[in-house]
Each structure stands twice: as C-alpha cells, then as structure tokens.
Structure 1
Amino acid sequence: MTRTRRAVAGTAVLAAALVAAGCGAAAPETAAGPAAAVAVDEELHAALPADVRAAGVLTVANDPSYPPASSFGPDGRTIVGFEPDLGATLGDLLGVEVRFEAAPFDTLLDDLAADRFDLVMSAVTDTAEREQQADFVNYFRAGSSIVVARGNPLGIHELAGLCGRSVAVEAGTVQVGLLERAQASCAQRIDLHELPTNDDALLELRTGRADAVVADYPPAVHVTTDPRTQNSYQLVSDTQYEPGLYGIAVAPDRTGLRDVLTEALQRLVDDGVYQELLDRWEVGHGAVDAITVNGALPAGS
C-alpha cells in the first residue's frame, strides 16, 4: 500500500491567523529520513467499525500551533509533525486514510462530541475532567515548561518565579490549571493571559505583553532551539511540571474504534516503529512503553 498522506488542508482562516502571529516555529515539511514501511494488518482492518471501513477515512481534529507535535508546514496548509506522522503510520497499519483537519484547541472535545471528527489527536493531556467527555488512548508523556525572553531579563528560574508576573498560555490547556494551583503559593497573583493558540501566547511574550509562556515541554524546547525563533525565546530549565499522558480522544460510545487504535499503537511500539518515528522528530524522551486507555494522573501529581 502506498503511504497515506501526512496531512490535509486546514482552514484558510486559521492558517492566516497563525502566519499573522509571526512567532510560531513551523516544523519542517518532513522529519529527516524516510519512515519505516508499515503494511496493512488485515485482522486489524477487519476489526475496525463497519462505518470506518466503508468510509476508508478517519478524520482527526488538530490544533496545528504546537510544533513538533503538529503545526502548519511551509505551504501554510499541510499539517506536519510527529502526530500527523504517527497518525499516517496508524493508517498504513489499519488500511485507512488518516486525515488531520485544523480546529481550535479549546473546542476539540466539543467537536468530537458533535461527531464533526472521528478522533482528536492534538497534544491533549489525558485528565480526569476530560475523561468525562471522551476516552483517551495514551501515546506520549510530557509535562509543562516555562519559556521566557532570550537572556531571561526578569530572572525567572522556576514556577514560583511567575508570581506577580504576566504569563501567557493557550486557552483550554492543562497549563491554565497548573498556574491556578501555583497561584495558591503566591503572595502576588499571576496575571494569566489565555490566548487562542500557543503561537498567540508566544507573540504576547515576544512583544512584551507577557513575561513568560507556559507550554508543554516539546513545543517549549522547539521554539527555543529552532534557528528561526531561538534568538527570541529561552527555556528556563529542563524541569517538566505535572507530567501527564497525551491521548487520542475517542467518543465514549465508540469503544470498538478505541480498542483497535490501542492494539494498533501497541503493535507500532512493539515493532520499534513508534520509537523510530519519535526519534526522527527528536521527541523520543516522551515515548511510552505501553499504550494505555484513560491513564489520567491526579492533578498536581
């Protein structure tokens, strides 16, 4: 079988908004080196729900402002990253096309509940609260990190250093809850700025409207090491606060689809394809050994 497309066009409006932000570090069109060939597993294909087999496509909602997980490529339309690559490899194994489509992060689970998409795969951390809306097939581990202006002019070195500062985050993310919990130990409140995308949060920092950005570790590392953005941003430390598991969100009434995805992902882990793919995107540090379902950790653990 020929390899499935790595991504499809997102909405032109969202693409234009991200370009206008001017600070997002778009990932390269492809990671270095070809992906390992994966053949269709006929048993897994047959185990897919009948409607998926008939359609031949799984649609995936994604917020493409989080490289290297997912972002718009150089054409401003194609979604690239380790998530689209992992999704496409899953499609190869299952014998269906996996089609990533752009959508706002803070409405992803609502879109899933409304049957606008089959899945959500967008660096969504599995939490107990989110498990009230969807089941999660856990495929990656990451925590939150702090990004500041290059040179760290305010001397922010840890989470406590955000007290009394303005901090930008993407709306709807676990970083909102993290900062709300951190607030309890602050003598001066954190001025929290919730923005539509992580690119918007970074723009707040770059233009001096925020003192820091808190985001997941992989995009924090990416923006502070990418040659296009590293002169503007600095990672405070390698500390990852409140690490959790990313999950592919599946509607709770589609347990058959959830279980096939779990088995297929575990196959990729066992075969070494999963680790190879993450390593090519330089995020092998977030690999998991076992694919789990609904593995949310308690907040603050």
Structure 2
Amino acid sequence: MSFASLSSGSAARQRLGIAAAAGSLLLTACGSSSSGGPAAPDLHGQLPEQVRSTGVLRIGTDLGYAPIGFKNAAGKPDGLDVDLANALGGVLGVRVEFSQVPFDKLFMGLQAHQFDVVMAGVTDNLQRRDGTDAKGMKMNSGVDFVDYFVTGTSIVVAKGNPQKITTLDDLCGRTVALQRGTVQATLAERQAGVCEKSSHKKLTVQETDTDDQALALVAQGKAAADLSDTPAAAYAAQQGRGGAQFQVTGEQMQAGPYGIVLSKEDTVLRDTLVKALDRVIRSGEYDKILSKWGLSAGAAQNAVVNGGF
C-alpha cells in the first residue's frame, strides 16, 4: 500500500514490536445493531468473557490502505474493514475499538494481547498461519484467519505505462516498490530469483513503510512499478491526480482471501466471529458494504477458517 499524491481520503498500510503496539493510536467506532442486522443475544453469549464483560472488541489495524481501511476527510476510520467490523459489532452487541499500528507490527501486537483481532487487509496464507518466514524458518506461533473477502496482487505504473510493463518478468532489470511485510514482498523476492536465473537482470526491490510511500517512488520515477493488493491499486489509479498519475497494468495475480486475524488459542472468539460473519452475509449488509466501496467482485459466499493459499 502507498501514499504518494493521493487525495485526503487515501492513506496506506502494513506491520513489528510490542513497544509500537503499546504506543498505538486508539480510535473508536461504535458497532450499530442496525448495521449487520439486530444484535444476536445467542452470539453475544458465546463471546469470550473478556469481550463480553467489557462490551468491546479491540481491533488492530493500519488505516492507510484505501478503500480497505483509511482515515476519511474528517479523520475518522473508514473503508471496507471498518464498515464490516461495525456490522460484526452490531450483530455481536459490542462496540468495536481500533488501534492504529504500522502494518508490520500488527502480528506482534496481537501476540502481546494489545488487541483481540487484526483487520487490515491481511491476506490469509500458509506462511502466516504457520508463523514462518519465506524460507520456512519458524518466527512465531502462527495465527488463525476468518476469511471474508477475495482479492489478489496488481502492478501499478505511471500513467501511460512508459516502460511497457505488463508482467512480473517485465520488472527484471528494474526497481519495484512495495510495502514491507506484505505478500507482495514475498512475491517480489521470488521474482528476483526468477529474473536472475532467466535473464541475468537484477530486480531491485525497494521496501517502504507504507504503500503510499511506494507509490511516491513510482511518481518520482525512482521505481518502475508498485506491487499492491488489487483494490488499493485500483483506488490509487482512480484517485492519483484525478486519475492522471497512475494506472493498473496486466492481470491480477495470486488471488487469495483477506482474513480477520486471531491468535491460535482464541478458538472461542474465532468460532463466534465465523457465525457472526455468516449472519452479516445472509442479512444482505455484507453485499451493501462491498457495493459501497466498489468491491463486489471479491465477495465471499460464507465465512471460512484458514482458507488461504
């Protein structure tokens, strides 16, 4: 995700440590019983005691990835994840409370119990579920996902596509920018190996704290392309200087689900969220939320646990 020269409705996303989580910015959004259907006493009673007693579901997020999650012109949390979280809170009869944390610090914040779940456009994949790095080395205890949306990776280039990039192979010999800690970072690392073997042209990967910063490198001509999730890529193309700054090129790659992230031991909360999400989907509110953000193509038919690649 990136910032660059986007409108004020844009920001960017991605995630390391406990200290950062402890110093996170707290933002609240009240779950409304009208958002995802009436509050369901049966589901409220199935919540873990801590959530039930406080009446709050604490969510770690990075509000910098429009239209998934960002701060709107009024400085309030907005986007797909925010609306869906509010709908879930309404069904569960609790208030949702967001902690703003850099994307690459969200998992450690979750493990430090700074929040109950993470919702930040996080792709569900085996590496994250197992808590391993790209080389298979164990990094943490892993997480569970409750999947709620399907998307993939897209390539963003300068308007007019001056370097005629349409595939990952076209990036060989060039610089690509992306947000650290994302699935795009793993994808680029793998492509760098392909470039070296097939064309002997080095792919330089420039990692940034946010996707907006990656987009800025493209805008400045310091990177040939930005790799980001398809919704964020499309938003950047539409919003950057009124659509005159960036464009999406090529086909979507590596489609997979976004998921609500939970610690593996939080099975009670996980299973309750599955039921709540299914109710939001069946109520029709889920489709309304996706339509509002132009994301209907990524609709899930039902909640799935750990369904990623």
Q: Please give the range of the TM-score, normalised by the shorter of the 2 chains.
A: 0.7 to 0.9
1:271 corresponding residue in structure 2: 283
> Match of 1:153, SS?
coil
Deviation, structure 1 residue 205:
1.0
2:220 corresponding residue in structure 1: 207
Residue in structure 1 matching 2:292, options 259, 272, 280: 280
2:64 corresponding residue in structure 1: 65
> Match of 1:185, SS?
helix
Q: Deviations over 1:9-29 (max 9, x none)?
A: xxxxxxxxx9xx55244448x
- Runs of 4 or more consecutive aligned structure 1 residues displaced over 3 Å after TM superposition: 24-28
Q: Count residues with an aligned counterpart.
A: 270
Superposition TM-score, scaled by structure 1 size: 0.86
Q: Is the 8 A contact 2:6 2:241 kept in 1?
A: no
Superposition TM-score, scaled by structure 2 size: 0.83
Alpha-carbon RMSD across the aligned residues, in angstroms, is 1.7
* Closer, same or farther: CA 116–24 of 1 in aligned 2, 3 Å: farther
Q: Deviations over 1:214-262 (max 9, x none)?
A: 000000011101264521111113x111111111001111110000001
1:31 corresponding residue in structure 2: none
* Closer, same or farther: CA 214–169 of 1 in aligned 2, 3 Å: same
2:18 corresponding residue in structure 1: none
> Match of 1:44, SS?
helix
Residues 130-169 of structure 1: pairs in structure 2 closer than 5 A: 130-132=128-130, 133-169=142-178
Deviation, structure 1 residue 126:
0.7
1:23 corresponding residue in structure 2: 5
* Closer, same or farther: CA 69–274 of 1 in aligned 2, 3 Å: same
Residue in structure 1 matching 2:180, options 171, 177, 186: 171
CA distance in 2, matches of 1:27, 1:285: 22
1:53 corresponding residue in structure 2: 52
Q: Is the 8 A contact 1:27 1:81 kept in 2?
A: no
1:5 corresponding residue in structure 2: none
Gaps of 5+ in 2: 11-33, 131-141
2:265 corresponding residue in structure 1: 253
Q: Is the 8 A contact 2:152 2:230 kept in 1?
A: yes
Q: Is the 8 A contact 1:24 1:65 kept in 2?
A: no
Q: Is the 8 A contact 2:36 2:286 kept in 1?
A: no
Counterpart residue identity of residue 40, structure 1: A
Q: Deviations over 1:159-180 (max 9, x none)?
A: 2111111100000000011112
Residue in structure 2 matching 1:119, options 113, 117, 120: 117
> Match of 1:296, SS?
coil
Deviation, structure 1 residue 50:
1.1
Q: Is the 8 A contact 1:145 1:220 kept in 2?
A: yes
Q: Is the 8 A contact 1:23 1:229 kept in 2?
A: no
182-191 or 120-129, larger mean C-alpha shift: 182-191
Residue in structure 2 matching 1:235, options 232, 237, 248: 248
CA distance in 1, matches of 2:96, 2:152: 27
Matched, 1:100 2:113: no
CA distance in 2, matches of 1:228, 1:73: 17
1:86 corresponding residue in structure 2: 84
Counterpart residue identity of residue 253, structure 1: E
CA distance in 1, matches of 2:38, 2:9: 27
Counterpart residue identity of residue 84, structure 2: L
How many percent identity over aligned positions? 37
> Match of 1:123, SS?
coil
CA distance in 1, matches of 2:54, 2:166: 51
Q: Is the 8 A contact 1:24 1:202 kept in 2?
A: no
* Closer, same or farther: CA 26–69 of 1 in aligned 2, 3 Å: farther
Gaps of 5+ in 1: 1-17, 29-34
